[in-house]
Amino acid sequence: MIRLTTPAGIRLESAVALDVTVGGAESNVAVALARLGRQVAWVSALPENALGRRIAREIGMHGVDVSPVVWVADARAGVYFMDTGSQPRPTRVLYDRENSAIAALDASAIDPAIVRAAGALHLTGITPALSGSAAAMCVNLANEAVDAG
């Protein structure tokens, strides 16, 4: 996902500039494991555009294998806005993931051999909540992992 963050103490509704970074639950775990020396592949779907390429590049530069990414034409990247708080106002996050590439991905788009070859599979509850097809994909991947032992 693309994260757009306000400068410290500036509210989203009045910010004139936002810091652009990459983040997201699954990708953050993948990056952390890779930085700890583990062999990690990140399986996801990204739009076939500049934002998708940026997400893959930034995750990949930490040693994460992004070759399993499914590239989707005419799709969106998930975006979240971080409205940086300043005491007593807390930091707030606004998500915009509807109709993103991963939400539209068909369950059969991910090669099950990737999961069968892995030592572990990390899923969150976020992805299956995005859409019915994303939920089916997660169930398929989890079943592959169970079958692989």
Provide the residue range defining the domain that includes 20. Answer: 2-148
Note the pLDDT tens digit of each residue in 68-115.
Answer: 999 999 999 999 999 998 889 899 999 999 889 999 887 788 888 999
Question: Looking at this protein, which amino acid is placed at residue 15?
Answer: A
- CATH number reported for the structural domain that contains residue 93 in this entry: 3.40.1190.20
Tokens, residue 113: 């051999």
The pTM of this model reads: 0.90
Q: Which run of H or E residues covers position 20?
A: strand 19-22
Note the pLDDT tens digit of each residue in 4-39.
Answer: 999 988 999 999 999 999 999 999 999 999 999 999
Number of domains in the chain: 1
Beta-strand pair 79-83/2-5: parallel
Residues 49, 51, 54, 55, CA torsion sign: negative
How confident is the model over 34-53, as a mean pLDDT? Answer: 97
